[in-house]
């Protein structure tokens, strides 16, 4: 295993895992990951109160000041996260909100044979 590739008894595998990310994508992924980690911290943990993922609150009224926020279920139904950096990046790379089912390719599994009759 420690021998360089090409030496007897060695082999190499080349694969492509997704596409290279630009700076905007890295910022969006970093923001989303950070907020998901903060949301998973137990209550009382340092930093857990800084999570910016939307909760289920839509309206707050205090001392005659009214704040109304978007309904999180609507945000998620539209394919957004509620995080401006992430939502802006998603809108930039997929303005038409195209969706496709997830797929997994593995050399361990044979693809099913498909035959089309004339």
**What span, in angstroms and rounded, lies between the C-alpha atoms of 85 and 81?**
10
Per-residue pLDDT of the chain (118 residues; tens, 9 = 90+): 678 888 887 877 776 677 788 899 888 888 888 887 777 777 777 765 666 666 666 677 777 778 777 777 788 888 888 888 899 998 988 888 887 776 777 778 777 777 777 6
Domain boundaries, given as residue ranges, for the chain: 23-93
As a whole number of angstroms, the distance between CA 27 and CA 89 comes to 9
Nearest CA among 102, 89, 94, 99 for reference residue 26: 89
15-to-7, 19, 103, 104, 110 alpha-carbon distances in Å: 20, 11, 16, 14, 18
Q: How far is CA 96 from CA 6, 21, 78, 99, in A?
A: 46, 20, 11, 9
Q: Which residues contact 88 (CB under 8 A, 6 or more apart)?
A: 28
* 86 in Cβ contact with 28 (< 8 Å): yes
Model pTM above 0.75: no
């Amino acid at each position: 295993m420690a021998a360089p590739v090409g030496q007897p008894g060695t082999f190499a595998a080349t694969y492509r895992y997704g596409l290279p990310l630009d700076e905007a994508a890295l910022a969006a992924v970093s923001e989303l990951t950070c907020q998901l980690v903060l949301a998973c911290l137990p209550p009382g943990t340092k930093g857990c109160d800084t999570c910016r993922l939307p909760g289920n609150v839509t309206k707050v009224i205090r001392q005659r000041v009214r704040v109304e926020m978007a309904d999180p279920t609507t945000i998620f139904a539209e394919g957004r996260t509620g995080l401006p950096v992430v939502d802006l990046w998603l809108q930039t790379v997929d303005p038409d909100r195209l969706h496709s089912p997830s797929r997994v390719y593995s050399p361990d599994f044979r693809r099913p044979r498909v035959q089309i009759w004339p």
